Chain A
Amino acid sequence: DIQMTQSPPSLSASLGDKVTITCQASQSINKYIAWYQQKPGKAPRLLIRYTSSLESGTPSRFSGSGSGTDYSFSISSVESEDFASYHCLQYVKLPWTFGGGTRLELK
């Protein structure tokens, strides 16, 4: 199975900050990584697929990059609605596996 190591587990930020979350795969995932936002008590919302492709409705302040085993997700200027948990998912190979999640909190 492909292990996804996501860091940091939690992150404190102020409004307007730039934040970055990383996911490292245990083997190459050929850019097949997606990023999800999840608010308490809600379902995950797909923000980005295939490393950097923004879903319709995803604000442009969100971005993704990476290749091989190393990927990152960034918010260029955090807004109040962005305080949530974020999860990466590799979908190159079964079983599909998630990172442990990152909780973005208000500093």
Chain B
Amino acid sequence: QVQLKESGPGLVQPSQTLSLTCSVSGFSLTSYHVGWFRQPPGQGLEWMGIMWAGGKTEYSSVFTSRLSITRDTSKSQVFLEMNSLQTEDTATYYCARFNWVFDYWGQGVMVTVSS
């Protein structure tokens, strides 16, 4: 069945770089797109960017300057890297499969930005 699972550090220091991995199963990254989202504590959801099945990426203008999404299709993994983290980047980060709409989501990974 379709599954996505995020992994990464729970704590990142201010000004450092966040690196997250989304490991997928049950579908191919060359057939489906995968997006990244975040949700600050007690707040709403925010789309960050997407890795299209063809290998191109698209980013929200909010994050364009400091966000990079890449993938390793052989390992069925999509990666998120975001630099210059600040305390306001504290959030739960999710990856989700896009199939005309975001239909399957990972469980999320909570990331705290603090010294």
Listed in ascending order, the chain A residues whose CB lies under 8 Å from chain B are 1, 34, 36, 42-46, 49-50, 55, 87, 89, 91, 94-101
Q: Is the CB of A87 within 8 A of B105?
A: no
Residues of chain B contacted by A101 (CB below 8 angstroms): 43-45
Q: How many residues of B contact A (CB 8 A)?
A: 20
When A87-B44, A94-B58, A99-B44 are in contact, do A46 and B101 touch as well, CB less than 8 Å?
yes
The smallest beta-carbon distance between A30 and chain B, in angstroms, is: 13
Residues of chain A contacted by B60 (CB below 8 angstroms): 95
Q: Is the CB of B101 within 8 A of A91?
A: yes
B46 at the interface (CB under 8 A from A): yes
| Chain A: CB-nearest residue to B94 | A43
| Chain A: CB-nearest residue to B62 | A95
Q: How many A-B residue pairs have C-beta atoms within 8 angstroms? Tell me.
A: 50
The smallest beta-carbon distance between B109 and chain A, in angstroms, is: 11
Q: Is the CB of B47 within 8 A of A96?
A: yes
Listed in ascending order, the chain B residues whose CB lies under 8 Å from chain A are 35, 43-47, 58, 60-61, 94, 96, 100-108
The smallest beta-carbon distance between B98 and chain A, in angstroms, is: 9
B107's contact among A43, A87, A89, by CB below 8 Å, is which? A43
Q: Is the CB of A49 within 8 A of B100?
A: yes
The smallest beta-carbon distance between B48 and chain A, in angstroms, is: 9
When A42-B107, A43-B106, A44-B105 are in contact, do A98 and B94 touch as well, CB less than 8 Å?
no
How many angstroms between the C-alpha atoms of A87 and B101 in the bound complex? Answer: 14
How many angstroms between the C-alpha atoms of A101 and B42 in the bound complex? Answer: 10
How many angstroms between the C-alpha atoms of A36 and B60 in the bound complex? Answer: 21
Task: Enumerate the 3 nearest inter-chain pairs by beta-carbon distance, A residue then B residue, closest first.
Answer: A43-B105, A98-B45, A96-B47
Residue with the highest number of chain B CB atoms closer than 10 Å, among A42, A45, A50, A96: A96
Q: Is the CB of A100 within 8 A of B47?
A: no
